[in-house]
């Protein structure tokens, strides 16, 4: 594509805040469950990467002008390995390209190691106001199984340091691990809630294609938890977090009121977001974007084109509507069908299968009030099956 003739988004700013995602692809090691775009390299040329990310940022700003930026999210990989000066430069340049919302949320993912925790004060001074820690488990044997380099003691020291330096802290835990009992998860979850953070991301262990865990499962060396057991753990998770005042606002995310991730809500509400860095995805109105995944290919594209784009793909109206519903129905707040219709251009009466919704409503799995539809607490464990029935957009027949 010609770097001087970028595709522009349609008139789709929608008056909503823009989100910015910045991907740092490097890790110290590759975890056996991870299918994210992460890479292990002996060394990283920080100056080269700063120039590349700034060029990519400038490109996105040129095709998304005059927007208010509501959130920035540094993901990875392991962005806590980034020098704080680079983080500060990227935040500063984003503020030159776009207006910052008064309450802009700036999140950085971090491993809870002592080396990275030592950077927390500098990262806070750089402008980061929310940190997401990858604790993953609260016992050392499980951390070893998950390929994590930190110990529980080290991670809890990092958590305490994060709580000193950042206004908002969240952390991840992985459950439904092989051999994990309901009682074990109950105790671990209650311990996690006692640390006092306002947000938790709680994910069931899934076996992703291309990971080392998939290889172990295929060989019979790893037996995943069965579906019934996973359902019991899911129900327990939602009950315990709700009781503690951090109810689920998305299928795997739990927060006190006002502590929800505003950045991730942009995704789930099908808002616009710019994505820069290797493998980053974005969406500008009805245009989906993807960057080159391999770091070396990304850098070559920056040199060649002035940006790291590999794909700019138009999204037709039906695709936009389908994606908006699939994302929005993950949320406890549900979906406003009139908003989806306005975003996509698909008539509201074509968005959902009304008969399926009625049948599921009688079973207590969904609720519909005029132009709003929500998956109930009872329905959330069956979300995938519900989506398959409810979201039934079909292309209109040609006239």
Cα maximum dimension of the chain: 66
pTM, entire model = 0.90
- DSSP-derived pairing of the beta strands 130-136 and 248-250: unpaired
pLDDT at 194: 98
Do residues 162 and 62 both lie within one domain? yes
Do residues 263 and 348 both lie within one domain? no
pLDDT at 35: 57
The count of structural domains within the chain is: 2
Per the structure block, which two tokens stand in for 81?
């390995």
pLDDT at 298: 97
Element (H, E) at 282: strand 281-284
The answer to whether position 90 is within a domain reads yes
Instruction: Classify residue 83 by burial, with Cβ atoms within 10 Å: 0-12, 13-18, 19+.
Output: middle
The DSSP-derived string for 322-360 is: HHHHHHHTTBTT-EEHHHHHHHH---GGGSB-HHHHHHH
Per the structure block, which two tokens stand in for 281?
């995805």
For residue 49, give every residue at least 6 positions away whose Cβ sits within 8 Å of its Cβ, in sequence order, or none: 86, 299
The answer to whether position 376 is within a domain reads yes
Asked which of 268, 284, 315 is the last residue of a domain, the reply is: 268
Among 334, 356, 181, 332, residue whose Cα is nearest residue 252: 332
Distance CA 133, CA 275 (A): 21
Residue spans of the chain under pLDDT 70: 1-14, 28-38, 114, 393-399
pLDDT at 34: 59
Do residues 230 and 359 both lie within one domain? no
Per the structure block, which two tokens stand in for 34?
């991870």
pLDDT at 229: 94
Do residues 263 and 339 both lie within one domain? no
Do residues 230 and 364 both lie within one domain? no
Number of DSSP helices (H) and strands (E) in the chain, helices first: 15, 15
The answer to whether position 297 is within a domain reads no
Sign of the alpha-carbon dihedral angle for 252, 81, 164, 142? positive
| 221 φ/ψ sector (left φ>0, alpha ψ -120 to 50, else beta) | alpha
What does the angle CA 195 – CA 199 – CA 203 come to, to the nearest 5 degrees?
100
How distant, in Å, are the alpha carbons of 239, 264, 265, 318 from that of 261?
Answer: 21, 5, 6, 28
Do residues 236 and 342 both lie within one domain? no
Phi, psi dihedrals of residue 273, rounded to the nearest 5°: -150, 140
Do residues 339 and 200 both lie within one domain? no
CA 51 to chain centre: 25
For residue 124, give every residue at least 6 positions away whose Cβ sits within 8 Å of its Cβ, in sequence order, or none: 165, 166
The answer to whether position 208 is within a domain reads yes
Q: What share of the chain is helix, strand, coil (3-state, %, to 5)?
A: 40, 20, 35
The answer to whether position 4 is within a domain reads no
Asked which of 268, 303, 319 is the last residue of a domain, the reply is: 268
Among 105, 120, 205, 102, residue whose Cα is nearest residue 157: 120
Q: Are 68 and 101 in contact (CB under 8 A)?
A: yes
Do residues 343 and 237 both lie within one domain? no
Residue 344's CATH number? 1.10.10.10
The answer to whether position 291 is within a domain reads no
Distance CA 46, CA 26 (A): 12
The DSSP-derived string for 8-43 is: PP-S--TTPPEEEEEEE-B-SS--TT--SS-B--S-
Q: Are 32 and 212 in contact (CB under 8 A)?
A: yes
Do residues 352 and 264 both lie within one domain? no
Phi, psi dihedrals of residue 350, rounded to the nearest 5°: -100, -5
The answer to whether position 293 is within a domain reads no
Residue with tokens 């406890």: 332
Do residues 346 and 228 both lie within one domain? no
Length of the chain: 399
**Residue 338 is part of which domain span?**
331-390
pLDDT at 33: 58
Q: Are 63 and 9 in contact (CB under 8 A)?
A: yes
The answer to whether position 130 is within a domain reads yes
Do residues 31 and 178 both lie within one domain? yes
Residue 174's CATH number? 3.20.20.70
How distant, in Å, are the alpha carbons of 155, 302, 359, 371, 376 from that of 362?
Answer: 46, 54, 5, 18, 12
Asked which of 268, 287, 315 is the last residue of a domain, the reply is: 268
Distance CA 366, CA 359 (A): 9
- Packing angle, helices 383-390 and 354-362, rounded to 10: 140
Do residues 241 and 356 both lie within one domain? no
């Amino acid at each position: 594509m010609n770097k001087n003739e970028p595709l522009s988004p349609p008139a789709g700013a929608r008056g909503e805040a823009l989100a910015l995602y910045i991907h740092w692809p490097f890790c110290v090691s590759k975890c056996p469950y991870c299918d994210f775009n992460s890479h292990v390299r002996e060394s990283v040329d920080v100056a080269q990467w700063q120039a590349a990310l700034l060029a990519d940022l400038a490109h996105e700003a040129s095709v998304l002008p005059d927007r208010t930026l509501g959130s920035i999210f540094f993901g990875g990989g392991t962005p806590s390995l980034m020098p704080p000066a680079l983080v500060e430069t990227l935040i500063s340049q984003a503020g030159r390209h776009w207006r910052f919302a008064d309450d802009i949320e700036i999140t950085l993912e971090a491993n809870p190691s002592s080396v990275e925790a030592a950077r927390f004060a500098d990262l806070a001074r750089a402008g980061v106001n929310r940190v997401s820690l990858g604790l993953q488990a609260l016992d050392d044997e499980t951390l070893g199984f998950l390929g994590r380099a930190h110990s529980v003691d080290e991670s809890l020291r990092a958590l305490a340091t994060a709580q000193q330096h950042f206004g908002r802290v969240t952390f991840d835990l992985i459950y439904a691990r092989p051999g994990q009992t309901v009682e074990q998860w109950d105790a671990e979850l209650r311990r996690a809630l006692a640390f006092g953070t306002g947000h938790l991301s709680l994910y069931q262990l899934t076996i992703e294609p291309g990971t080392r865990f998939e290889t172990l499962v295929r060989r019979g060396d790893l037996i995943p938890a069965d579906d019934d057991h996973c359902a019991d753990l899911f129900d327990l998770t939602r009950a315990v977090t709700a009781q503690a005042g951090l109810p689920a606002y998305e299928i795997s995310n739990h927060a006190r009121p006002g502590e929800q991730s505003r950045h991730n809500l942009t995704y789930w509400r099908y808002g616009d977001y710019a994505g820069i860095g290797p493998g980053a995805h974005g969406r500008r109105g009805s245009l989906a974007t993807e960057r080159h995944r391999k770091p070396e290919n990304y850098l070559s594209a920056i040199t060649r084109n002035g940006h790291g784009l590999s794909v700019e793909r138009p999204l037709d109206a039906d695709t936009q509507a389908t994606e908006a519903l699939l994302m929005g129905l993950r949320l406890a707040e549900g979906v406003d069908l009139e908003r989806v219709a306005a975003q996509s251009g698909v008539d509201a009466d074509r968005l959902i299968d009304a008969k399926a919704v009625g049948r599921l409503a009688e079973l207590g799995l969904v609720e519909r009030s005029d132009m709003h539809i929500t998956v109930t607490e009872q329905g959330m464990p069956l979300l995938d099956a519900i989506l398959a029935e409810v979201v039934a957009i079909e292309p209109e027949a040609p006239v």
